[in-house]
């Protein structure tokens, strides 16, 4: 019977051996530990994430040292003092009760190791709270609002809103003011900074900085209900000139005059104009009560004024391609379960009653209609 047990343990060990290289190279063909993956915390691209990664390595080295010394002592003790074949089973080893000097020495030693961690930790806490900005230096501020399940970004100095894609200049500190509209969310852009929570009824602050222009992935890190896993976002760090151009773009209207309800696109260049105009009508009928196409006005849903210039849809879950967009408009419930775009906004005082504002569930859009809306949205660049 014993050999069955040995074979079984052998199989388990073999499985483990196979898993190790696969897990270490997870995802990236080249990178160990998936260190360059989209959300890797070990591939910092800005000073704050770099500081946090460095302190992580400090803790890693300290604990590795402990592992080698304490673990080594443990392994040695287990090996050295094991009961060997032929040992007297009634043997009574010396009944020693302890050694105060050894014990106190170990306490002092471990306290000293903690100081090694504590000092950079304190520096890291200060850095997170106090961005390295010169006095009088102009700093871009962005108001970030968490909604179930998307992100609103407001640029208060310029008076416009965008959604799910944070754009900012590279090489500069950007201050983020974090708020939540409904439940708690958490803003996590791993390559630039650790997370900070968005709390309803409270404003939190954080800052980010990207060393170089780049494209980053972020995700909500606090459980926020049904579609928490689909609450992603993207961030773009642009060079100074590109960012200035982007700012200007965002402040230009993409429709004729949203304030009087004229949602006709300003330009349909290179697009099917008739389809886009049909789409505009459908948009007014089905979408406009929640989605603003005026970047100066934020309503209950993500602002779509410059939708055509974004790289992702559905809060970072899908790439911004026409096929994905049509699917998203037709089946928001399948892309994001529990989504208000499908079921409508519930009445906060009677959440099980009829919705305050109806969703697409009752609109019965056809595929052709969804395509028209998509065509319209792509004119908003």
Partner 1 sequence: MSTEQVTYGTWKRPLKKTGLVGFLTTVDHKKIGIAYAIGALFFLLVGGVEALIIRLQLMAPENDLISAQTYNQMFTMHGTTMVFLAVMPLSAAFFNFIMPLQVGARDVAFPRLNALGLWCFLAGGIIVNLSWFFQAAPAIGWFGYAPLTARQFDPDIGTDFWIIGLQILGIASLAGSFNFITTILNMRAPGLSMMRLPVFTWMTLVTSFLIILAFPPITIALAELMFDRHFGTHFFDVPGGGKPILWQHLFWIFGHPEVYILILPAMGIISEVLPVFSRKPLFGYPLVVFSGAVIGFLGFAVWSHHMFTTGLGIVATSAFAFLTMLISIPTGVKIFNWIGTLWGGQIRFTTPMLFALGFIWMFMLGGFTGIMHSSPPVDAQQQDSYFVIAHFHYVLIGGSIFALLCGIYYWFPKVTGKLMNDNLGKVFFYTIFIGFNLAFFPMHILGMSGMPRRTHTYKAEMGWNDANFWSTIGALILGLGIAAVVLQVIYSCFKGKPSGENPWDARTLEWETSSPPKEYNFGFTPVINARDQVWENKYGHAEKKMGKIAPGSHGIHMPDQSWWPLVVSIGLFIAGMGVIFHGQPMERLLPFLGESDISLFHMLVPGLFVTLFGIYMWALEGPGGYHLYPDPEELVGAVEPEEGSHGGH
- Residues within window 291-310 making contact with partner 1, judged by CB under 8 A: none
Please state the closest distance from residue 190 (CB atom) to partner 1, in A.
Answer: 4
Please state the closest distance from residue 23 (CB atom) to partner 1, in A.
Answer: 4
Q: Of the candidates 3, 85, 86, 91, which one interacts with partner 1 according to CB under 8 A?
A: 91
- Residues within window 246-275 making contact with partner 1, judged by CB under 8 A: none
Contact in structure between 187 and 175 (CB atoms under 8 Å): no
Please state the closest distance from residue 338 (CB atom) to partner 1, in A.
Answer: 7
Stretch that binds partner 1, among 102-110, 161-169, 280-288, 291-299 (CB under 8 A): 102-110
Task: Give the integer Cα–Cα distance in Å for 163 and 310.
Answer: 9
Task: Give the integer Cα–Cα distance in Å for 314 and 328.
Answer: 7
- Residues within window 149-188 making contact with partner 1, judged by CB under 8 A: 182-184, 186, 188
Cα-flanking dihedrals φ and ψ of residue 341, to 5°? -60, -25
Residue (306 or 336) nearer to partner 1, CB: 336
Write the DSSP string, 261-328. Answer: TEEEES--TTS-HHHHHHHHHHHHHHTTTT--SSTT---SS---TTGGG-SEETTTTEES-HHHHHHH
Residue (155 or 217) nearer to partner 1, CB: 217
Please state the closest distance from residue 82 (CB atom) to partner 1, in A.
Answer: 5
| Radius of gyration in angstroms for the set of CA atoms belonging to the chain, rounded to a whole number | 28
Contact in structure between 41 and 190 (CB atoms under 8 Å): yes
Stretch that binds partner 1, among 279-287, 341-349, 361-369, 372-380 (CB under 8 A): 341-349
The verdict on 220 binding partner 1 (CB under 8 A) reads yes
Please state the closest distance from residue 143 (CB atom) to partner 1, in A.
Answer: 15
Contact in structure between 203 and 170 (CB atoms under 8 Å): no
Neighbours of 165 (CB within 10 A): 22
Contact in structure between 227 and 240 (CB atoms under 8 Å): no
Task: Give the integer Cα–Cα distance in Å for 160 and 152.
Answer: 11
The verdict on 345 binding partner 1 (CB under 8 A) reads no
Strands 312-313, 318-319: pairing kind: antiparallel
Total residues at the site for partner 1 (CB under 8 A)? 113
Please state the closest distance from residue 366 (CB atom) to partner 1, in A.
Answer: 25
Residue (74 or 245) nearer to partner 1, CB: 74
- Residues within window 46-85 making contact with partner 1, judged by CB under 8 A: 49, 51-53, 55-56, 59-60, 62-63, 66-67, 70-71, 73-74, 77-78, 81-83
Task: Give the integer Cα–Cα distance in Å for 296 and 100.
Answer: 71
- Token pair in block for residue 296: 């100066």
The verdict on 128 binding partner 1 (CB under 8 A) reads yes
Interface mask toward partner 1 for 312-331; x: CB under 8 A = -----x--------------
44, 137, 148, 169, 175 from 244: Cα distances, Å: 25, 17, 31, 9, 17
Please state the closest distance from residue 87 (CB atom) to partner 1, in A.
Answer: 7
Q: Of the candidates 163, 176, 193, 235, which one interacts with partner 1 according to CB under 8 A?
A: 193
Residue (33 or 158) nearer to partner 1, CB: 33
Closest residue by Cα to residue 41 from 166, 199, 219, 172: 219
Side-chain half-sphere of 98: how many Cα atoms within 13 Å? 6
The verdict on 101 binding partner 1 (CB under 8 A) reads no
Interface mask toward partner 1 for 8-37; x: CB under 8 A = xx--xx-xx--x--xxxxxxx----xxx-x
Please state the closest distance from residue 144 (CB atom) to partner 1, in A.
Answer: 13
Residue (2 or 135) nearer to partner 1, CB: 2
Write the DSSP string, 6-32. Answer: HHHHHHHHHHHHHHHHHHHT-S-SS-G
């Amino acid at each position: 019977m014993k050999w069955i047990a040995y074979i079984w343990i052998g199989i388990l060990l073999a499985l483990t051996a196979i898993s190790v290289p696969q897990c270490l190279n997870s995802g990236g063909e080249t990178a160990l530990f998936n260190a360059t993956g989209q959300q890797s915390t070990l591939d910092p691209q800005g000073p704050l994430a770099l500081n946090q990664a460095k302190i992580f390595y400090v803790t890693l080295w300290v604990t590795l040292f402990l592992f080698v010394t304490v673990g080594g002592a443990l392994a040695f003790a287990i090996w050295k003092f094991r009961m060997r074949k032929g040992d007297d089973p009634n043997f009574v080893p010396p009944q020693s009760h302890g050694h105060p000097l050894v014990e106190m020495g170990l306490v002092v030693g471990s306290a000293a190791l903690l100081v090694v961690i504590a000092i950079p930790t304190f520096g890291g806490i200060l850095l997170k709270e106090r961005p390295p900005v010169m006095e009088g230096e102009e700093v871009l501020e962005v108001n970030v609002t968490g909604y179930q399940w998307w992100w609103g970004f407001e640029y208060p100095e310029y008076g416009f809103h965008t959604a799910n894609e944070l754009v900012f200049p590279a090489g500069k500190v950007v201050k983020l003011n974090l708020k939540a509209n409904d439940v708690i969310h958490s803003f996590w852009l791993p390559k630039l900074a650790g997370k900070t929570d968005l709390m309803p009824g409270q404003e939190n602050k954080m800052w980010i900085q990207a060393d170089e222009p780049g494209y980053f992935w972020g995700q909500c890190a606090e459980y926020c209900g049904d579609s928490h896993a689909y609450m992603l976002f993207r961030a773009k760090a642009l060079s100074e000139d590109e960012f200035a151009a982007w700012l200007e773009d965002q402040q230009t209207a993409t429709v004729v005059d949203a304030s009087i309800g004229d949602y006709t696109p300003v330009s349909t260049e290179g697009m099917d104009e008739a389809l886009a105009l049909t789409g505009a009508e459908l948009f007014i009928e089905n979408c406009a009560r929640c989605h603003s196409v005026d970047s100066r006005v934020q309503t209950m849903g993500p602002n779509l004024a410059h939708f055509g210039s974004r790289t992702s849809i559905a809060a970072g879950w899908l790439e911004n391609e026409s096929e994905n967009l049509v699917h998203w408009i037709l089946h928001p419930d399948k892309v994001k379960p529990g989504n208000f775009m499908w079921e409508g906004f519930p009445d906060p005082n009677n959440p099980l009653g009829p919705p305050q504002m109806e969703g697409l569930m009752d609109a019965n859009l056809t595929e052709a209609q969804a395509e028209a809306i998509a065509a319209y949205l792509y004119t908003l660049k």
